[in-house]
Amino acid sequence: MRSFMQIKIYRGKFIAYAVFVVFIGLALGGLTCAVLLDQWVGNSRNEAAGDFSRVESGLQYDADRIEAFMQRVYSNSGLVDDIRSFLGNNAEGYLTSRLQGSHYNRTLVSFPDDIKSFLSNGGKGDITQVSLHTETEGNVISFDSNGNTSYRFRLPNSDAIFSESIRKGFVHHKKFSDPNQISRQLGEFRFLVSSERIFKTVQNNHLSETAAVSATGDVYLINGGDRRTVELVRRVVEDGRSHGYLSTGWLDRAYFVAFSSNEFDYRFVSIVDLATLIQQKANVLLIVFLIVLAAMICVLMLIVYNLREDAIFLRRIINSIGRVKTADFTTVTPARYRRNEYGMIARELDDMIHQLDRHIRTNYLLKLKQQETEMKALQNQINPHFLYNTLEVIRSSALVNSADYTSDAIATLGALYRDIVKNENIIPLGSELNLLQQYLKIMEFKYPDRFYYQFHVEPALIDLPTVKFWLQPLAENFFIHGFNPESEFNLLLVNGWEEEERFVLEVVDNGNKISEQRLIEIRNKLSGGDDASADSIGLRNVYTRLQFFYGAGFSMNIDNNEEAGVKVTVMLSKEAIGDVQAAHRG
């Protein structure tokens, strides 16, 4: 960061960008949290609507069951008689009356048992109390949570057991009339639907406080609560809105939703405390915060990276100008290309210095390097003049003894070494191919009927300038590492062609492949740049000599063929060939 913070322009840009990113990040984070909070509140509203719908369905179901029971009563004379016996009597009077009115040819009907089985699901339904009243008193049938039935007789209508409160439940009043004279009312049924049981299905909501409010203002807390909850519920009722927000403190707010039941005369109220909701969803909000923070850090890092890159280019431009002023044309790492003015200027300056350095290297350093490399290549060889004279003696002896085959082989070897020791270091590629061909003829003499070679080189490559005697080591590697003396078909191919921007030369054989590990080692060795390698007649020597001669326009690939053998590919850019030809003419 110091590289650009020390520059006034970039320091001001970074501060402006940082303020902007933080502002946008906080705005997006706040907006995301607001959207999530609104969604959670909406989910609570939908859940409250579902709870209210379930309660309404339960109440309606019980109302329908009560209506069905009343129709069942009037359709069953035995049941009507048993209800008359129950009405206004005590336990003994009820039992005596129903026995007196029984008939041997009729099934004895029990009004309490009928209520328990038909209306209250065996005493475990929502209806927990049924009472039958005269004008002054009433008899009660109650069902506990285990389905057990209890009775109380002749209680005054003013008794607390008959008080109607939403804390106890919803009371359905049904008149009991004489079936023979409908206008004559015998008594009244009161069916109590327990609030505890009817609201039991909506008690699993832990994010909201839910209550039911009667028309008289009586409050039943469904999910539990305290006096504060009761006060909030009454505030909601007084507010009159179906949904909205209430202030519960200096910064605290609560969201409420209220539903009115026209059928059963009560209001269903659900209140969500936003502070509690935020605490419940703290993990999600923390994740949002971390994502926004990570996004801001990434954007700031990207800004730092771009400003740092621009600053580096600016410093590079200044440095390049200083190098030109001091005539320092040594090669440096090329500037990476960027699509802006700094990048273009830095790249052009680097190209200019690189061109100057290349011309100097071509005219002076290349010749010295070539001589040094050639000296390394000759250090491990037998004196070729001595070898040539010795081979002439052997050839003469072979001619005297009529050994024509041996004579031809020695003549070819002698011609090869004669061409090697000539003074020319730079020769056309066609001459280099002729040297390789002489070497391969000798290999044909050595392995008759077991080795074959073919050349397929386009004419455009024949006159290209190159260093002498670099193809032979590539072919020699085949005979050392890949040649199979027991095979009847050992083949070496030399292919060369011209492409749009380069020339390509391939040396391909069908011998043994190179293991992947060894292939990686060879590639690393070639790209290592160790000029002092003692392996002067191997691949490293070839690579070094061609690299010195052609420069950056030269590349070499070594690969295994799909079926068998190894392929060495040498690629020369046309730009590098042009530079070499210009230097050679100079």
DSSP 336-347: PP-SSHHHHHHH
**Within-domain flag for 374:** no
How far is Cα 26 from Cα 409, in angstroms, rounded to an integer?
87
Residue count (the chain): 586
**Within-domain flag for 462:** yes
At which residue do the structure tokens 């590289």 appear? 3
Q: What is the pLDDT of residue 10?
A: 75
Buried b / exposed e along 430-464 (16+ C-beta atoms within 10 A):
ebbbebbbbbbbbbeeeeeebbebeeebeeebeeb
Q: What is the pLDDT of residue 140?
A: 94
Residue 324, phi then psi, degrees to nearest 5: -65, -40
What distances in angstroms separate CA 17 from CA 10, 302, 313, 340, one per listed residue?
Answer: 10, 11, 20, 19
Domain finish residue from 163, 198, 233: 198
Which residue type is seen at 567? K
Q: Within 13 Å of residue 187, how many CA atoms lie on the same side as its CB? A: 19
How far is Cα 30 from Cα 291, in angstroms, rounded to an integer?
12
Q: How many domains does the chain have?
A: 2
- Token pair for residue 74? 């009037």
Domain finish residue from 198, 219, 242: 198
Find the CATH number of the domain harbouring 441: 3.30.565.10
How far is Cα 392 from Cα 295, in angstroms, rounded to an integer?
81
**Within-domain flag for 563:** yes
Q: What is the pLDDT of residue 339?
A: 59
Q: What is the pLDDT of residue 396?
A: 60
**Within-domain flag for 365:** no
Domain finish residue from 159, 177, 198: 198
Beta strands in 390-516 (DSSP E): 426-428, 451-457, 465-467, 490-498, 502-509
Structural contact between residues 556 and 543, judged by C-beta atoms closer than 8 angstroms: yes
Which residues touch 444 (CB under 8 Å, ≥6 apart)? 451, 452, 453
**Within-domain flag for 22:** no
Structural contact between residues 219 and 204, judged by C-beta atoms closer than 8 angstroms: no
- Token pair for residue 25? 């990040």
**Within-domain flag for 469:** yes
**Within-domain flag for 349:** no
- Pick the closest to residue 200 from 212, 190, 217 (CA basis): 212
Write out the chain's pLDDT in tens, 586 residues: 556 676 777 778 888 888 999 999 999 999 998 899 999 888 888 988 999 999 999 999 999 999 999 998 888 888 888 888 888 888 888 888 777 766 655 567 788 888 888 877 776 788 999 999 999 999 999 988 887 889 999 999 999 999 999 999 999 999 999 888 888 899 999 999 999 888 887 876 666 789 999 988 899 998 877 888 899 999 999 988 989 998 887 778 899 999 999 888 899 999 998 888 888 888 998 999 999 999 999 998 888 887 777 777 777 777 777 776 776 666 666 555 555 666 677 677 777 777 766 666 666 556 656 655 554 554 444 345 445 655 665 666 566 655 666 666 677 777 776 766 664 778 899 999 998 998 888 888 778 888 899 999 999 999 999 988 889 889 888 888 888 888 888 999 999 999 999 999 999 999 888 888 888 888 888 777 555 443 445 788 888 888 888 888 899 999 998 888 999 999 999 888 887 776 565 4
The three-state secondary structure class of 571 is strand
Classify strands 169-178 and 243-247 as parallel, antiparallel or unpaired: unpaired
Q: What is the pLDDT of residue 385?
A: 47
How far is Cα 25 from Cα 296, in angstroms, rounded to an integer?
6
Q: What is the pLDDT of residue 371?
A: 54
Q: For residue 441, what are the domain limits? A: 424-585
**Within-domain flag for 110:** yes
